[in-house]
Chains A and B, each alone.
Chain A
Amino acid sequence: MTASAVLFYLFGALALGSAIAMVLNVRNTVAAALSLVVTMIALAGVFVLLDAFLVGAIQIMVYAGAIVVLFLFVVMLLNLRTDLFPPGRSFLPKVLGVVAALCLLALLVPRIGAHLPAPALLPEGFGGFRTVGLALFTRYLLPLEVASLLLLAAIVGAVVLAKRRID
């Protein structure tokens, strides 16, 4: 097994573990958020192993560094603690939901194994900053511009929503 394979399984296990930790962590919301950070960083590692260098860097900077931080801000702002189940609410829908999700997984997993293409030979600089950057500003220019518009709309929306009423 090559070093990259070992690293992949390592990062993969880490991601899975902290994801489960995030979902199962009922007591501490901040801990859940931090677990999410760990998941994201692990995934960034996996990205790099898959020759997606720019994407990995962006993952850490934007996703782990900004988005989850935003989550943490809100958690601390609202001073949230625990998320205990109150008595009386039925478990049945949740159990059903879990079962459905697992069934979905069970259906998909066996069939993924077959008929997958072999990895291609990569051109020089695949996944690096230069190539992806060039692709973004030539072939994929339109999605880029649309994404920036989307971010503008999001800014406006967030400001409007979070504003205090001017009394």
Chain B
Amino acid sequence: MVPLSHVIWLSAALFTIGVIGALTRRNLIVILMSIELMLNAVNLSLVGFARVWGDLGGQVFVLMVIAVAAAEVAVGLGIVISLFRNRDSVNVEDVSLLKW
């Protein structure tokens, strides 16, 4: 097996790319996709550690993460569609009502 540190570095790099995408892009859907990328990075890290310690719990956790991600995407895209219907835009700057 490849040294664990390489696995973790890959995971960290993917996570950082996901954060940059979530912070930088204006399109709501792309932001959601970046969030998915972040989740994937975490999944990678979990699988790596599961392998190293021989513990299946890590892999089960990954399955849960995937389930949660699926639910989140479903609901999130539903919200995006409603937003688009109301404002005719999926620009994140146009949905800045979450204040005070």
Contacts and interface: CB of A to CB of B under 8 A. Distances in A.
Interface of A: 4-5, 8-9, 12, 15-16, 19-20, 22-23, 29, 32-33, 36, 39-40, 43, 46-47, 49-52, 54-55, 58-59, 62-63, 66-68, 70-71, 74-75, 77-78, 80, 83, 85, 89, 93-94, 97-98, 101-102, 104-105, 108-109, 112-113, 116-123, 126-127, 131-132, 135-136, 140, 143, 147, 150-151, 153-155, 157-162
Contacts of A49: 2
Interface of B is mostly: helix
Contact of B54 (A5, A12, A121): A121
Contacts, number: 224
Contacts of B59: 52, 54-55, 127, 132
A162 B60 contact: no
24 contacts: A4-B1, A8-B2, A15-B10, A19-B17, A20-B17, A23-B18, A33-B33, A39-B37, A58-B66, A59-B43, A62-B70, A63-B66, A67-B69, A78-B80, A78-B81, A97-B24, A101-B19, A112-B9, A117-B53, A119-B51, A126-B54, A127-B51, A127-B59, A162-B81
